[in-house]
Amino acid sequence: MGVAARYITRELLAVLVVTTLVLLLIGAGGRFIGYLQDAVAGKYAADTLLTIIQLRLPEFLQLIVPFSLYLAVLLTLSRLHAESEMVVLQTGGLSALRLLTWIAWPALMLCALVGWLSLDVSPRSNLRLGEFFMEQRARQDFQNVNPGVFNTNSRETRVLYAESVSEDRERLGTVFIWERLADGREATTWAETGRQRFDPDTGSQFLVLDKGRRYEGTPGNPEYRVIEFNTLGQRISIDASGSNRVGITGILTNDLPKKGKGAAEFHWRLAMPVFTLVAALIAVAMAKVRPRASRFSRVLPGLLLLLVYYLAIMGNHHLLEEELIPAETGMWGVHGLMMLLLLLLLRRIARPVS
């Protein structure tokens, strides 16, 4: 039986690696496209995309690994059933409990990995990502400007357009700026060139415009103020007070509030490793197919069941956020129902296939 255990574990790990890579490429690729669109819109520089993806990677993995493990167990055992290898093993004394034990060891290791990611690594990465987004927001507006594109700041109070940008991103050519002023008026400025200047005494950043014209007023009101200038210095206000885009996911586990969203986030992080282990055991019960049937015949119903489990966890998370259920209950009710379902499904393994 030791040879059979190594045989199943080896194939399981091979399928797991391939499945994880495919799901990771799909998930990270889709998110990368979204970040790329933000970079084109001028929200941050294009050279920061790899840093953002790297900081998002632990969160991707903690969600992908449970699904990858589920599919790996399902596909591996379904093949053994379809090719009658499982019948041979059962004839040699393989019981449902021993099969669960074989699957439980790699599942427990991945469960520990997901727990480490969800409780420690992901919050730290999200914390750093929030700081990174704040740093990007605090950078000078025109450092993130793409030539030929209307770039909007995070508060949507300024639109900047430049026909060209120097390679060192220090100078802009043919600059157009629209701003909403604090008193409700609007200002439109055009200049031949623009450049940055830093005042070491005050620590302020300035956008210095050369040879242009500025219009200030209220749309619909003919009383506009027109200014022609050779040089105009404009202080760049830094919006560092807004959301860092990661919210409570960037709070370390030990620092989470005990109620409301803090409790919901804590139980969500705790649910991920439990979800991983229970999903792997459910896959064992769902993998049984008829001899010579396709190994993929149980993939769709299996994924639907796992999706129901995941959506139930998300619904429980929402109820905890809204404090509609006591924080002490966590998500153990959902896990308990899935364990009961697991016990019912495991009875299928012991019955012979007719």
Say how far apart CA 219 and CA 30 lie, in whole Å: 41
Same domain, 51 and 158: no
- Of the three residues 217, 235, 253, the one that is the final residue of a domain is 235
Higher pLDDT, residue 18 or 150: 18
All residues at 6 or more sequence positions from 12 whose CB lies less than 8 Å from its CB, including other chains = 72, 73, 76, 103, 106
> At residue 5, does pLDDT exceed 70?
yes
Say how far apart CA 160 and CA 171 lie, in whole Å: 13
Task: Give just the sign of the alpha carbon dihedral 268, 271, 273, 278.
Answer: negative
Same domain, 12 and 132: yes
Predicted local confidence at residue 115, as pLDDT:
94
Predicted local confidence at residue 64, as pLDDT:
93
> At residue 138, does pLDDT exceed 70?
no
Range of the domain at 177: 141-235
- Of the three residues 235, 258, 273, the one that is the final residue of a domain is 235
Band (pLDDT 50/70/90 cuts) for residue 68 is: very high
> At residue 239, does pLDDT exceed 90?
no
> At residue 297, does pLDDT exceed 90?
no
Same domain, 213 and 310: no
> At residue 137, does pLDDT exceed 70?
no
Band (pLDDT 50/70/90 cuts) for residue 116 is: very high
Q: Which range in 115-124, 169-178, 199-208, 317-326 is most confidently predicted, on average pLDDT?
A: 115-124
For residue 135, give the 3-state DSSP assignment.
Answer: helix
Give the residue-averaged pLDDT of 90-94: 71
> At residue 242, does pLDDT exceed 50?
no
Same domain, 147 and 271: no
Number of H helices, E strands in the chain: 8, 6
Band (pLDDT 50/70/90 cuts) for residue 199 is: low
Give the residue-averaged pLDDT of 263-274: 94
Higher pLDDT, residue 192 or 3: 192
In this prediction, what percent of the chain has a pLDDT beyond 90? Answer: 27
The alpha carbons of the chain give a radius of gyration, in whole angstroms, of 28
Band (pLDDT 50/70/90 cuts) for residue 352 is: low
> At residue 237, does pLDDT exceed 60?
no
Same domain, 296 and 150: no
Is residue 350 within 8 Å of residue 297, measured between CB atoms?
A: no
Same domain, 126 and 256: yes
Give the residue-averaged pLDDT of 272-297: 83
Give the residue-averaged pLDDT of 270-276: 94
Please write the tens of the pLDDT for every residue from 117-131: 999 999 999 998 888
Is residue 280 within 8 Å of residue 70, measured between CB atoms?
A: yes
Same domain, 70 and 96: yes
Same domain, 76 and 16: yes
Same domain, 170 and 34: no
Same domain, 127 and 181: no
Query: Phi and psi dihedrals of 197, rounded to 5?
Result: -145, 135
Same domain, 26 and 90: yes
Helix (H) or strand (E) holding 132: helix 122-138
Among the listed residues 305, 233, 254, the one whose alpha carbon sits nearest the alpha carbon of residue 71: 305
Among the listed residues 233, 231, 179, the one whose alpha carbon sits nearest the alpha carbon of residue 204: 233
- Of the three residues 235, 255, 270, the one that is the final residue of a domain is 235
pTM for this predicted structure: 0.69
> At residue 36, does pLDDT exceed 50?
yes
**What residues does 178 pair with on adjacent strands?**
159, 188
Same domain, 123 and 189: no
Please write the tens of the pLDDT for every residue from 304-313: 999 999 999 9
Average pLDDT of the chain, as a whole number: 82
Give the residue-averaged pLDDT of 94-121: 87
Band (pLDDT 50/70/90 cuts) for residue 201 is: low
Q: Which range in 85-99, 191-205, 247-261 is most confidently predicted, on average pLDDT?
A: 247-261
Say how far apart CA 164 and CA 171 lie, in whole Å: 8
What total number of domains does the chain contain? 2
Query: Phi and psi dihedrals of 294, rounded to 5?
Result: -70, 140
